[in-house]
Structure 1
């Protein structure tokens, strides 16, 4: 018998239990064990009904995705499901934790399903660039109808037990898992209830067969934010097969779709991103077994846009917050914005109606830094100048309790310098949240020279608790994300001096898959911010300065690089900007030329990759995948391209190094010369991935 799946007999009920920690994933051993135990239960004349359940914290939480792209190991999951579905004895899935992906497909092959009230059920394969490959797209529509099936399969988000019960995905919500499943089987046997094989039940497809708009409208709603992605559309097509084709034909077409996606570049990129996010939780250079410090309350200094968003993130996760301002008016304004934000989300149905009041109750708004005393973690989100930051950290020495982690939300400034303002540099680090902080998933955790290992582990742990993706980085100007972005900004500006227009540059960047181009982004942020900063440093930027001198500060003034109609954020090309650029170039004696889209893409992306190579050389990021995590979750890099370093490998590092050397010469810009690490990898025919593999092996 299998080591990871056991069969026990409780008189007439056979209990098949999967026990393969941590998440009972459908490895070859688990698949084989389920098949063996189900066959044994069917063959045992004393067993009249079967419960399929799992030990540990969850039901089967999905496929073993480490097997993807490798030669298949028997038995195939569809063979296991066929054995379950064709059992002459009732098979009941008893679900706790999460039944996801292949786990839910196993449950759908069972004749009945019960779950504890906290259970979640879903088919999230689309998030890995895939579609369910073991009948999920054929059985789920038959269980819940095509509308909810489209929402679950094309959207990829799970539903709770209450919604599953309401829609017929489960038969009952049970109290105790083993006893609940067993009691349900006994009830089935007593009532002599016929087996329900979803493959044979088309009753919930009838409405969509009669009126296909039920299905197409559901698909349109779920795919409107899927620009550039292949999997959501392929998954929608597969649900359509359930409506249009007999079960076996639909199953065959689903499998074809799955195999096509699993071999696609997009799915490879999305699976890479999945593992990169998990890898980012491993902190290089921290002794094994380092425990986080307890964090029961957080203090946040500053109730502005960033401070308020950070406070919301903690309250969303149930962590009490002391929100501190320098004056009553600023505090009142900040608290009011948070309340409005939550109320708007509740009105849209994004959170329960009582959530805004509950979350506001977790935030204690006060005036004065002396109120940080009971906080285990203090995050400052004050004005972005070194003098102000140092003053704040100097005061924290006086008021913060011993052992409190002291974090700066700076996006550029040197954390080592900030730490020198305190007598406890071991407690100081950076926690760089991205705006809006209550929405954006990334948190760059900046390790300073003297940051204690347990302070670092605390920051990573709490970031995960508030549903952020943490990436540990080192100290340098702009850390990882903004340092790379600065290279793109420099090139985008240069392109205007060579003949490109803002709308051409932005169109290339958005076609690549970024949510916004550099010039639309500048308009959103406000051109006056950079203008003031340049003036302070005695730097000129002729075109950007000319726009600001003409009162064009971006969206806030209705015109910047683009013009904006009243009440609209949509950027519209403006002939006045083209004229202003032409006049500036004429005045400077610059000649315009035709700049190709290909050149724009290379000059937007390759300098960032070059900077990424320098960041790796300097040890600012421990792994190429950490850089990719920063860009995926902080800057909207398209997930189907896996991150800049992953994408660079797919383009070819030799090609990138050659093109950078070409542009360095053509534009007389030595900053474009390939970084030593990039040159070395290109010369050796290696990739950033091979660099990561070598460092892991070492």
Structure 2
């Protein structure tokens, strides 16, 4: 018997234990061990029932990522699952931690399922471009019905044990020792003469209208994604075919997903998230500072969002404003945000009050003397930052972490305003901070290893994807997006309309168009950044002027009802701005060009290849540690389509020789902004990709 799977005889019950740390992944040794264990239990006449438990912190949490991309080894998971379900002796799966993907499919093959109250179950394969391939799309609908099965499989989101019990996935919630709970359940089954209860033998009620509605919803909400529609098709097969034929159809659809380019992109994103936690030169055992309390300075939209991030995970946080009315407004915004969650049903009223109770409004810096971490979220002005950090330096206790939420300013200059630059770090949240998962952790030249490690851990506690970056104007994400937005403005002056630019980018897969994003964030912010950057332009670098015209006209985006688009009567739906045409004509005349039609393909290449070229410079300068970090930032902070893997993964797929050729053409036509990055030229000359770095 495999060392990772053991069988213990407990009277007439076979207790099968899986022990494959850290998460009992279903690698070859586990699959082989499970198959042998169930066959052994089947062969012994003295064994009348089987209990399956897992050691460690969790039940089986899915496939073994070490086997991704490698040739499959027998037995396959479908073979194991079918053998478990076919057993003539009743089996009980005892779930703790998480039963995800193949782990839940194994549990569904068992005849009965119980779990600890804090356990979770789910089929998250869609998030890596796949669908459940070991019977999940066939057995789950037979157990919980089509509607709930579609909800779980298409979203990939897990459900907690009480909900799983309500759905019918679980038979009971248990407590105490896992093995003892499972054995007690098995003996009750034997006492009641209850034999195998095979999920696959159940009938499922078809609902063509429900499936059609789900298919339409997926096409609308997940445009361009391959695997969600195959998930719907697989569940539909469960309503139309016997189990054996349904399983065959599931495998066909699984193979289609496996061969889809999207699967490789989503797997890349999966691994990128794990790699981001590893920082070169920062030992895994670097000590971290305990953060039991926090403070946020500034009660604007960003500050309130950051405060909610801490309250949402149970960390008390003080929210500082210097004006009582501004503080009242900030606390009302926090309540309004939570109330919206209550109205959506994603938060209970009791949980809302508990979270809001963790946010304490204060009016004096002295109230921050005892906190472990302070994050400033004030106006993006170096002078304002100076005033804040000098005050923090004076009042905060030794060892407190002083963080800036600056999106582009020089963190080293900010740190120099204090007598403890080693305690200063950048924590760049993305708006809305309580929703967006990305957190750029900015390491200044004086930031200590301990503070950097602490900042990364804080990101994890806040359930963010934390990516360490270096200091430069805009760090990684915004430095790249400056180039992207600039090209979008140039395209307007050259002949495109805002609607055409944004539609071309949305059709590529971006969550929003570049110009709609600018209107949303505020053109006054873009104008201030542009003004700050203007003195540092290199020879040959010119700026589009349409933003200057809009700013002069007081058209600052959604906040004023007009920008690149019009937003009448507070609407957030962009409409054509008639005043823009004259501004574009003036801008084109100033550049000495005649506006003419621009193709959608040209729009996409100009915007996306500007990201790639700038990212190559960022990597060369060491601002980002790895190409996958850049991709992770754009996937989680800027609405880049996950199924394309990120800008650098996408560039690798297109072929860097093609990308460089187009960048050289743009350099000849459009000037200094398009000077090819040296790293990109080296990679092409050496026949390498960003993935090879």
Judge same fold: TM > 0.5, yes or no: yes
Q: Distance in 1 between matches of 2:383 and 2:96?
A: 53
Greater mean alpha carbon deviation, residues 127-136 or residues 505-514: 505-514
CA RMSD of aligned residues (A): 1.6
- Equivalent of residue 359 in structure 1, options 349, 355, 360: 355
- Equivalent of residue 680 in structure 2, options 665, 678, 693: 678
Q: CA deviation at 1:337?
A: 0.4
**Secondary structure at 2:433 match in 1:** coil
Q: CA deviation at 1:82?
A: 1.4
**Secondary structure at 1:94 match in 2:** strand
Contact 1:346/1:355 (8 A) holds in 2? no
Q: Distance in 2 between matches of 1:558 and 1:425?
A: 42
Match of 2:233 in 1: 237
Q: CA deviation at 1:490?
A: 1.9
Per-residue CA deviation, residues 225-282 of structure 1 (Å, 9 max, x unaligned), is: 2122111111011000000111111100100111111121111111110110111011
Q: 1:223 to 1:153 in 2, by over 3 A?
A: farther
Q: 1:190 to 1:81 in 2, by over 3 A?
A: same
Match of 2:479 in 1: 483
Match of 2:109 in 1: 109
Structure 2, unpaired ranges of 5+: 536-542
Match of 1:585 in 2: 588
**Secondary structure at 2:349 match in 1:** coil
Match of 2:196 in 1: 195
Q: Distance in 1 between matches of 2:183 and 2:234?
A: 34
Contact 2:295/2:374 (8 A) holds in 1? yes
Q: CA deviation at 1:557?
A: 2.7
Q: 1:395 to 1:10 in 2, by over 3 A?
A: same
Q: Distance in 1 between matches of 2:668 and 2:533?
A: 28
Q: CA deviation at 1:548?
A: 3.2
Match of 1:161 in 2: 161
Match of 2:538 in 1: none
Under a length normalisation based on structure 2, what TM-score does the superposition of the two structures give?
0.96
Q: CA deviation at 1:531?
A: 3.8
1:565 matched to 2:568? The reply is yes
1:321 matched to 2:317? The reply is yes
Contact 1:376/1:404 (8 A) holds in 2? yes
Per-residue CA deviation, residues 578-608 of structure 1 (Å, 9 max, x unaligned), is: 3442354346642123322222111101121
Under a length normalisation based on structure 1, what TM-score does the superposition of the two structures give?
0.96
Q: Distance in 2 between matches of 1:134 and 1:589?
A: 63
1:633 matched to 2:643? The reply is no
Match of 2:183 in 1: 182
Q: Distance in 1 between matches of 2:481 and 2:90?
A: 59
1:269 matched to 2:265? The reply is yes
Q: Distance in 1 between matches of 2:117 and 2:69?
A: 36
**Secondary structure at 1:134 match in 2:** coil
- Equivalent of residue 616 in structure 1, options 587, 600, 619: 619
Q: Distance in 2 between matches of 1:516 and 1:382?
A: 26
Q: Distance in 2 between matches of 1:79 and 1:533?
A: 59
Structure 1, unpaired ranges of 5+: 692-698
- Equivalent of residue 525 in structure 2, options 526, 529, 538: 529
**Secondary structure at 1:566 match in 2:** helix
Q: Distance in 2 between matches of 1:298 and 1:596?
A: 50
Q: 1:118 to 1:534 in 2, by over 3 A?
A: closer
Q: Distance in 1 between matches of 2:424 and 2:310?
A: 19
- Equivalent of residue 294 in structure 1, options 284, 290, 295: 290
Match of 1:555 in 2: 558
Contact 1:69/1:262 (8 A) holds in 2? no
Q: 1:537 to 1:95 in 2, by over 3 A?
A: closer
Q: CA deviation at 1:575?
A: 4.2
Per-residue CA deviation, residues 87-118 of structure 1 (Å, 9 max, x unaligned), is: 11111111111000000000111111111111
- Equivalent of residue 375 in structure 2, options 356, 375, 379: 379
Q: CA deviation at 1:615?
A: 0.7
Contact 2:130/2:254 (8 A) holds in 1? yes
Per-residue CA deviation, residues 602-647 of structure 1 (Å, 9 max, x unaligned), is: 1101121111111111111111111111111111111001111111
